[in-house]
Amino acid sequence: MTITNEVRSRLIGTSIVESSSQMKISKTSLLTIVFGMVISQAGWLIAGIALLRIVYVDKWHFIREDQTASLGLLVGLSALFLAAGVAKGWAIARALEKEKVVRGRLLKVEVDRSGEDTEYRMTFAYTNAAGSQQSLLVERQRKDLVPGDEVSVLIDERTGEGLLELDLPGGTMFANFQGTQPIDPKVFLRILVVPILALAPLLGLVPSVAVTLQPLAASTEMWLVCGWSVVVQIIWMFANRRHFTFKATNIGRCCAK
């Protein structure tokens, strides 16, 4: 991305305006946004459980019906989560195309434990295109920054909301959506493992697989044998949970310094 205006300063409270130009989100980038969020990953996980029920409960009766939720509930939840992920991802993709990205330097971190979850109020500072210094208050549920750190922030000046680059899905960067850097293949690996494993129960439709599992049908561990893919999905989501945290952060604009 071409830097249209750059202001440098030695003061700790200032930073560099990266650009106010618009990004153009490709179809590939859009998929990483939509399927890289926690809610989308959860939707695929539930879809995998629904397929597990269809194949191993309703068709082969390898698992007792009372050991899993109703098919209608599973399908409904999966569709709801995936639809919410698509809607949220589409909205953020549009924001990426319209809003500007700046570099903000973290000044201080305050802890708020008044709510159900602990929140960290991070005050950033940056220099706008006019050369005046501005402050941003970002509320997050992760404390992975220390004062003095500089990060890229997507700012929506109309709504007062923004998004830290650290909260993009799968370890992507704003440069990936600006087209200046290709998306790392590791990003696709992190995001696609859960959707691919959601389809694994379809292997049970192969007669040879069903015949192999049939002798174990009466076993108490049958759910685990048939549902290995669900177990792997859960482990993968937990191990990579920080890469799936993707939501707009609340930013309050302070007056110019």
69-80 tens-digit pLDDT: 788 899 999 999
Report yes or no on 90 lying in a domain: yes
φ/ψ of 182, rounded to 5, equals: -70, 155
pLDDT by residue (tens digit) across 135-173? Answer: 888 888 788 899 999 998 887 666 656 678 888 877 788
Q: For residue 174, what are the CA distances in angstroms to 103, 137, 163, 202, 254?
A: 12, 20, 10, 37, 24
pLDDT at 136: 80
Alpha-carbon distance of 29 to 184, in angstroms, equals 11
Report yes or no on 2 lying in a domain: no
Residue showing tokens 């205006």: 5
Based on its alpha-carbon atoms, the radius of gyration of the chain, rounded to whole angstroms, reads 23
Report yes or no on 105 lying in a domain: yes
Query: Which two structure tokens, joined as six digits, stand for 29?
Result: 């980038």
H-only helix segments in 18-144: 27-35, 38-52, 71-98
Structural domains in the chain (count): 1
Report yes or no on 140 lying in a domain: yes
117 or 160, which is more confident? 117
In this prediction the pTM is: 0.72
Tell me: pLDDT of 28 over 60.
Answer: yes
Report yes or no on 180 lying in a domain: yes
Report yes or no on 178 lying in a domain: yes
Report yes or no on 5 lying in a domain: no
148 or 214, which is more confident? 148
Report yes or no on 215 lying in a domain: yes
Cα dihedral 69→242→108→163 (10° resolution)? -80
pLDDT at 218: 61
Residue showing tokens 């589409």: 90
**What is the residue range of 236's domain?**
17-253
Is residue 124 a contact partner of residue 254, using CB atoms and an 8 Å limit? no
Alpha-carbon distance of 25 to 176, in angstroms, equals 9
